[in-house]
């Protein structure tokens, strides 16, 4: 299949993986920023509640509600085609699958950045971030 999608698997369970251009990823940023803000806020409340309750947290209805809310917010990002990568809820890190120079990479954005300007290989992670070549912003 050509274009920004690639099929994974085979048969009825086959899924479609979206690849973003830097321009497409940037167009999603207003929505991604809102979802990430909600994830961070909910994540902080979740962690505070767990720390407050200690060993009794697993039975607390508020902890369960916040966990469900986090799951829903994370699913919203997954439904857009990107992934939240910040278990500490401090950086608001999001990866967008992309193809740069014929290689599968991840466009990388964190909540304190105005734009998506970095990418990294799936293996390198955040520490391997490099600037996205300017030519890729034109597509």
Tens digit of each residue's pLDDT (9 = 90 or more) over 39-76: 999 999 999 999 999 888 889 999 999 999 999 999 99
pLDDT at 135: 78
pLDDT at 4 over 60: no
Cβ–Cβ under 8 Å, residues 3 and 20: no
Which pTM value belongs to this model?
0.82
Tell me the pLDDT of the chain averaged across its residues: 87
Host domain of residue 66: 5-138
In SS3 terms, the chain reads as CCCCEEEECCHHHCEEEECCCHHHHHHHHHHHHHHHHHHHHHHHHHHHHHHHHHHHHHHCHHHHHHHHHHHHHHHHHHHHCCEECCCCCCCCCEEEEEEECCEEEEEEECCCCCCCCEEECCCCCHHHCEECCHHHHHC
Q: How far apart are CA 103 and CA 47, in angstroms?
A: 37
User: Domains in the chain: how many in total?
Assistant: 1
């Amino acid at each position: 299949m050509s274009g920004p999608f690639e099929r994974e698997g085979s048969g009825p369970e086959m899924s479609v993986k979206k690849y973003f251009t830097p321009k497409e990823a940037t167009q999603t940023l207003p929505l991604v920023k809102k979802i990430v803000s909600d994830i961070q806020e909910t994540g902080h409340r979740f962690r505070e509640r767990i720390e407050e309750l200690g060993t009794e947290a697993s039975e607390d209805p508020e902890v369960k509600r916040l966990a469900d809310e986090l799951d829903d917010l994370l699913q919203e990002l997954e439904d857009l085609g990107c992934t939240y990568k910040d278990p500490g809820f401090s950086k608001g890190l999001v990866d967008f699958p992309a193809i740069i120079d014929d290689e599968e990479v991840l466009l990388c954005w964190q909540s304190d950045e105005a734009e998506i300007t970095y990418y990294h290989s799936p293996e390198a992670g955040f520490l391997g971030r490099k600037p996205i070549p300017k030519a890729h912003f034109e597509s």
